[in-house]
Amino acid sequence: MEVPASVRQRSAQLREQLDWHNYRYYALDDPQITDAEYDRLLRELQDLEREYPDLVTPDSPTQRVGTTPLGSFIQVRHDLPMLSLDNAFTDQEIHDFDRRVREQLDATAAIQYAAEPKLDGLAVSLRYEDGLLVRGATRGDGSVGEDITHNVRTIPSVPLRLQGGDYPRLLEVRGEVFMPKRGFAELNAQALQRGEKLFANPRNAAAGSLRQLDSRITASRPLEIFCYAVGQVEDGELPDLHSAILARLKTWGLRVCSELNVVNGAAGCLEYYRAMLDRRDGLPYEIDGVVYKVDRLEQQRSLGFVARAPRWAIAHKFPAQEVLTQVLAIQVQVGRTGALTPVARLEPVSVGGVTVTNATLHNADEIRRKDVRVGDTVFVRRAGDVIPEVVKVLLESRPIDAQAFVMPERCPVCGSQVIRPEGEAVSRCVGGLICSAQRKEAIRHFASRRALDIEGLGDKLVDQLVEQELIHDPADLYHLDVKTLAKLERMGEKSAAKLAQALDRSRSTTLARFLYALGVRGVGEATAQTLAAHFGTLKALMAADEERLQKIPDIGPVVAAQIHAFFAEAHNQEVIERLQQAGIRWPDSEPQAQGIGQLPLAQKTFVLTGTLTSMSRDQAKARLQSLGAKVSGSVSAKTSYVVAGSDPGSKRDKARELGVPVLSEAEWLELLAGAEKTSGPA
């Protein structure tokens, strides 16, 4: 299909704009547009390239999604070897390094060093020809690495084309691919949820992600890069200072670490080292030391190399983050959401300068996978401010009487039943209303706006009430009086009276709100609405077994098991009874004459955007749910309608792009009225 000139011009313009905004975002850390606007431009280019495949170029910003899996990696020989660095661990070793440099250069003045963090990732080489990325390779053994071009192309901070026009015809850039702490934590949280093996640390996660034969997997991982040197350069000139070269790389769109600094002599190096060690935990990425390089290239050439390392650079390593110690016991902690987490009690050991006595074992599957037992000698890792974790067991040191761990059947805090829903890796206490480990979270949720909506009962007030043991469960809230509340910090008579009034107002509610307020795992607002409509009364719901619960649309075996376990727990039954005795009430209704799946708006998904004049957002949501509809917060191809009030946001635009019908408030009210006429009693 012939591409119209106007379309070709627009696609080129979009590529240029997206490249520029990538440069502002990654290289300069100074974005000029919002993420939403960037996504809009990218979608426009994707649409054009989908309609006119001839428009696709190798450097298009759309070409980062990954391609068909490879059969194997191809080996790549580095024209200039990627050398390793010698390591130093003490201040004296840095003084000795500086002395050797000065002696070999016959220098009397202090040497200037470029100092930067030593990233804990994977070293790579990026080869650009005429500004276009043509190859990415791993360091390998320094002389031969693996071709990972298909994978590095998926990393957003790796430019597919260089900015400007003053770059060399051939430019090889060396950098470190790493996984930020936040991305690593999210990746492991997702793996934990799926019951998959966890990555031991961000470096392993980055290395494993880069060595995927399927680049679509790499594209899904949160990888980033910092460039720290150049290799082969042809037909172009670079500055004569290492620090100035990195500044030049930045102008070409290559990402450089902002922590780079130029220091004087050994004293300047050590001052930088201590500053980075102090800031280590607060950085968004892992570092395991700092690197010092003689800044002047002429001096680097004079110093030369020894064996496989340069004489002009050295890595100053931080104290170890992984050490060996012994597991003295395995105990279980209960989190604020009821999750049971096994914790290893350790022989005290210093890890990264901090004494560690406990380490997380995540869940029973992880303990089984790593085969951790009481008495084992284990490797423990502490990464920044993350809770220390047991990485692996030294099996050859296992004692004969090492004890295997068994997850308790009853909560160690409150004695309630512990369940592990099918398909989940985490075991949970079902005593959400009475378990002291979950108390604050349960009460906050109970009082939240979409639950019982107790205005004025904020987080700090809940903390005070629990910590002073004035309340032990949600039912205790309704026994608080103005005199007691007024004694709390930052309250006083007036605020206490307002809170007492809010508590009194909350006694009148709906069954759906009450069910949501109980905090049953898996029961959100929509599910609570479905349960209330289906059963009509709390008594009928509490009497339902798992088989009956599973017959309700959108309630599967996992949620059914959680609902049944919650209402079967005697402790929870007691609190519910006390809540009703305290005056919590709602109008009961007849069980839904129609199944929820037969309601007029069943199988329909609505998205609300903008401000409605006829009712609040919560009221609109409840009205839709009472007719069987789902209400979502985001627009997708599966959305049935988007309801646009005044000042609608980007959701309306996305709906139009996807061809989803957009209703005005008047049109929506008309649709509701028609649906309610055909609906049975609710």
| List of residues 6+ apart from 96 with CB closer than 8 A | none
Q: Which DSSP state fits 256?
A: -
Could you tell me the CA-to-CA distances from 232 to 27, 81, 124, 158, 591 in Å, in that order?
Answer: 22, 10, 14, 18, 76
Rounded Cα distance between 532 and 553, Å, is: 13
Nearest Cα residue to 255 out of 225, 287, 286:
225
Distance of alpha carbon 496 from alpha carbon 481, whole angstroms: 8
Helices and strands counted in the chain (H then E): 24, 24
Dump the DSSP string for 575-644: HHHHHHHTT-B----PPPSS-GGGSTTTT-EEEEESB-SSS-HHHHHHHHHHTT-EEESS--TT--EEEE
CB 57, CB 15: distance < 8 Å = yes
Residue 468: Cβ within 10 Å count: 12
Q: Which two tokens stand for residue 227?
A: 């460039």
Number of other CB atoms surrounding residue 397 within 10 Å:
13
In the residue annotation, 118 being an active-site residue is answered as yes
Please name every residue paired with 263 in a beta bridge, in sequence order, or none if there are none: 113
> How far is Cα 280 from Cα 274, in angstroms, rounded to an integer?
10
The answer to whether the Cα torsion of 219, 225, 230, 234 is positive or negative is positive
Considering the candidates 118, 370, 621, 630, report the single residue annotated as catalytic: 118
Q: Nearest Cα to 635, choosing from 621, 646, 649, 624?
A: 649
> Among candidates 408, 425, 426, which has minimal Cα distance to 417?
408
Residues in contact with 16: Cβ distance below 8 Å, sequence separation at least 6, in sequence order: none
Please state, in angstroms and rounded to a whole number, the distance separating the CA atoms of residues 216 and 400.
46
Strand partners, 329: 345
State the distance between the two ends of the chain, measured CA to CA, in whole angstroms: 56
Give a three-class secondary structure readout of 650-676: HHHHHHHHHCCCEEEHHHHHHHHHHHH
What is the secondary structure of 21-55 as a DSSP string? HHIIIIISS--SS-HHHHHHHHHHHHHHHHH-GGG
Paired with 547 in beta bridges are: none
- Dihedral-angle region of residue 469 (phi above 0 means left; psi in -120 to 50 means alpha; beta otherwise): left
Q: Which residues are catalytic?
A: 118
